[in-house]
Amino acid sequence: MDFYDRYCQLCSRKGLKPHSKSTAELIGISNAAAQRWKQGNRPNAETLEKLAKFFGVSVEYLVTGYEPRAREVVGDDPETEDFLQLLATREDMRMLFRTAKGARKEDIELAVRIIEDLRRRGDE
């Protein structure tokens, strides 16, 4: 997967169209930028920062497809890495992701279940 594919995937996760003018305005980029990316060009450092902030991922993820924190935590466990990548891309779970460094998958899953239970209790 290259940069453009990751950009499209991130847009899709937010329910946005990669080439729409409204998406470009939300991110703060030109509408023509995505067309250039589709042709194989990459954004400059300033645009990468905007994209990373908007999508809640690292610049490294945009460029390489790997989130540095996830690699530090999980090593070679692809199942756990996928789980942490999901957490990293959900805004409501970012704080949990930052605190998960060094935690096992089971510990992270337990924390998620506790948070979800607390939310349900708050709704009662």
Say how far apart CA 23 and CA 13 lie, in whole Å.
Answer: 13
pLDDT of residue 63: 86
Q: Is the pTM of this model over 0.85?
A: no
Task: Answer whether 14's CB lies under 8 Å from 27's CB.
Answer: no
pLDDT of residue 70: 45
> What is the full DSSP assignment across 20-75?
-HHHHHHHTS-HHHHHHHHTT----HHHHHHHHHHHT--HHHHHHS--HHHHHHHT
Q: Is the pLDDT score of 73 beyond 60?
A: no
Say how far apart CA 89 and CA 44 lie, in whole Å.
Answer: 22
Is the domain of 73 the same as that of 111? yes
Backbone phi and psi for residue 93, each to the nearest 5 degrees, phi listed first: -115, 0
CATH number at residue 59: 1.10.260.40
Is the domain of 60 the same as that of 94? no
Q: With bands split at pLDDT 50, 70 and 90, how would you rate the model's confidence at 19?
A: confident
Report which of residues 8 and 82 the model is more confident about.
8
Q: With bands split at pLDDT 50, 70 and 90, how would you rate the model's confidence at 71?
A: very low
What's the CA angle centered on 36, arms 31 and 41, to 5 degrees? 140
Is the domain of 85 the same as that of 33? no
| pLDDT tens sequence across 27-59 | 888 888 888 998 888 898 889 989 988 998 888
Is the domain of 54 the same as that of 85? no
Rounded to 10°, the helix 105-123/78-89 angle is 40
What's the whole-number average pLDDT of the chain? 79
Is the domain of 60 the same as that of 88? no
Say how far apart CA 68 and CA 87 lie, in whole Å.
Answer: 14
Report which of residues 100 and 122 the model is more confident about.
122
Q: What would the mean pLDDT of 6-34 be, rounded to a whole number?
A: 89
Structural domain of 104: 69-123
Is the domain of 60 the same as that of 78? no
| pLDDT tens sequence across 102-112 | 677 777 778 77
**Nearest CA among 44, 49, 37, 45 for reference residue 6:** 37
Is the domain of 93 the same as that of 116? yes
